[in-house]
Amino acid sequence: MDLDFMASTMLTLVAALPMTLALFSLSVIFGGLLALLVVWMRVGGNPVARGFAKGYIFVFRGSPLLIQMFLVFYGLGQFGFIRYSFLWPALREPFVCAVLSLSLCTAGYTAEIFRFGLRSIPAREIEAARAVGMSGFLLTRRILAPIAFRNALPAYSTEVMMMVKSTALASLVTVWEVTGVAQRLIAQTYRTMEVFLCAAAIYLILNFLILQLLALLEYRLSPHRRTAPLFPAAQQ
Amino acid sequence: MTATSSSQIGTPMAGAPRLSVRNITKSFGPHQVLRGISLDAQDGDVISLLGASGSGKSTFLRCINMLEIADAGEIVVDGEKIAMTQRGGRTVPADRRQVDRMRSELGMVFQSFNLWSHMTILQNIIEGPVHVLKRPRAECIEEAEALLEKVGIADKRHAYPAHLSGGQQQRAAIARSLAMKPKVMLFDEPTSALDPELVGEVLRVMRALAEEGMTMLVVTHEMSFARTVSNRVIFMKSGEIDCDGAPDTVFTDGASPAFRQFIGNFGG
């Protein structure tokens, strides 16, 4: 293996890392916010909203992300009302299309993860909150959301890692992130193995770091699940 | 027992019952659990609710703070009646905020403690005062420390519920209810989920509360508590009040055949 070539490839690919990080972080943020809206509709009392949320989750979980991305990138421009709207200058940008479709897709998965988080809240803890006079937004903010988020975090961590990898698809709608740049390098050098190994290494390191952060968050949020050496157990 | 007419609504009156319940009925499907229960609790009353399982005593207690919504009847806390309305053929509270406020005035202690597992004991106790009553945090912490001292678990303030014994959890739950400065405390079988050797520590706390003059409604199977701590005993049978009176009367000559059979099962 040619180490000099590997090193220069690494440098070229790392230069594209900010784009990958931008795709990732924006879509996790927007997808997360959208997921909150979807899960609120999904578990709320309004049957129309619930039906819409169910449909949304099914469509975005049930179809390939790549096709969703192509539909957004190639498809939206065919609608006159979009093409001639004030949104078009943004929506014709590949980056915007990629973030949009990544967000829409992860929102479907994340909504479902949050819903399971909500369902696993012990009913008695909700009852205790009602009994002190909590309801509505206060109940959600103080009791439901904190418990649901803790319960959902392991599954949500997996979804976040999937998002790092899914950003690679953006290369197919001409966004020059790590995978896109790797393919361009291969087209120039025909050295598939070295370039893709470098790209894989970048994703692995990135995911390793993200996983550490999420594990730290999970650790911080779950002192109640650990045994407590500081407190002598069950004394009268 | 039923000295005052309880229908006055509006400003609390001197001598008005702390809690007044009129003709509560409740069915689950075809099964009628409560068949018109009424009760007045005066300031400082400690009322034990006894009955076999399925007699409706827990459901009755849960109807009082609306964790179950009664099909009919009225609930008046300190002279204020909880407004009900009909919606879609069902009885529902007319005003959510009134229910929330009423609940904040009625302390509830559950059979399985129901502490919030992700919060420390101290956080559990200040949660209601800080976020429901919107009182200053520092003040609430100070009061919480005093309450923990009172129930004897001051050293556990930074522990999580899972790290405590059942008796300690229940005492923490009592402190959590007391932190709301309730007008009435409702206890739903507070010692039934405890190991026998842990029952005493919880009963001691409840006895101390009773001696301080707290108005209490206690669903319990602890006959000695009912007999020695409460000033009134109500025995429920099939969703109705079977007998009702001072413990001495009920436990000795005032007992109905059903109550005699019931306490016979306790070996006493």
Alpha carbon distance B219, B188 (integer Å): 5
Please name the member of B108, B162, B197 whose beta carbon is closest to the beta carbon of A131.
B108
Instruction: Write down the residue that tokens 């980056």 correspond to.
Output: A95
Q: How far is A55 from chain B (nearest CA, A)?
A: 28
Provide CB contacts within 8 A for A86, sequence distance 6+. none
Q: What is the pTM of this model?
A: 0.85
The pairing of strands B232-237 and B184-188 is unpaired
Q: What's the pLDDT tens digit per position in B93-119?
A: 988 999 999 999 999 999 999 999 999
Please name the member of A135, A147, A236 whose beta carbon is closest to the beta carbon of B96.
A135
Q: Decide if A129 touches B, using CB distance below 8 A.
A: yes
In this complex, do A234 and B104 lie within 8 Å of one another by their Cβ atoms? no
Burial string for B68-84 (b: 16+ CB within 10 Å, else e) reads bebeebbbbbbbbbbeb
Q: Are A117 and A148 in contact (CB under 8 A)?
A: yes
Q: What is the pLDDT of residue B87?
A: 87
Provide CB contacts within 8 A for B8, sequence distance 6+. B16, B79
Alpha carbon distance B144, B166 (integer Å): 20
Q: Is the ipTM of this complex over 0.85?
A: yes
Q: What's the pLDDT tens digit per position in A119-163?
A: 999 999 999 999 999 999 999 999 999 999 999 999 999 999 999
Packed helices A17-43 and A145-166: angle between N→C axes, nearest 10 degrees: 140
Q: What's the pLDDT tens digit per position in B218-230?
A: 999 988 889 889 9
Q: How confident is the model at residue B263 (pLDDT cuts 50, 70, 90)?
A: confident
Q: Which residues in chain A are contacts of B156 at CB distance < 8 A?
A: 231
Q: How far is B203 from chain A (nearest CA, A)?
A: 14
Q: Which helix (H) or strand (E) holds B188?
A: strand B184-188
CB neighbour class for B12 (10 Å; exposed up to 12, middle 13-18, buried from 19): middle
The pairing of strands B106-109 and B232-237 is unpaired
Q: How confident is the model at residue B91 (pLDDT cuts 50, 70, 90)?
A: confident
Average pLDDT over residues B130-136: 95
Q: What is the pLDDT of residue A228?
A: 65
Task: Look at residues A121, A199, A200, A134 and name the one whose alpha carbon lies nearest to residue B108.
Answer: A134
B5 has pLDDT over 50? no
Q: Which residues in chain A are contacts of B161 at CB distance < 8 A?
A: 224
Q: How confident is the model at residue B4 (pLDDT cuts 50, 70, 90)?
A: very low
Average pLDDT over residues B11-22: 75
B197 has pLDDT over 70? yes
Alpha carbon distance B121, B124 (integer Å): 5
Q: What is the pLDDT of residue A229?
A: 55
Q: Which residues in chain B are contacts of A142 at CB distance < 8 A?
A: 127, 131
Question: Which comes out higher in pLDDT, residue B250 or B132?
Answer: B132
Q: Mean pLDDT in chain B?
A: 88
The pairing of strands B46-51 and B215-219 is parallel
B128 has pLDDT over 60? yes
A106, two tokens? 């992860």
Average pLDDT over residues B228-241: 91
Q: What is the pLDDT of residue B2?
A: 39
Give the residue ranges of chain A where pLDDT is below 50.
231, 233-236
Q: What's the pLDDT tens digit per position in B32-60?
A: 999 999 999 999 999 999 998 888 899 99
B31, two tokens? 């099964």
In this complex, do A234 and B110 lie within 8 Å of one another by their Cβ atoms? no
Q: What is the pLDDT of residue A92?
A: 83
β-sheet with B19-28: strand ranges across: B31-41, B19-28, B72-77, B80-81
Provide CB contacts within 8 A for B54, sequence distance 6+. none
Q: Which residues in chain B are contacts of A138 at CB distance < 8 A?
A: 131-132
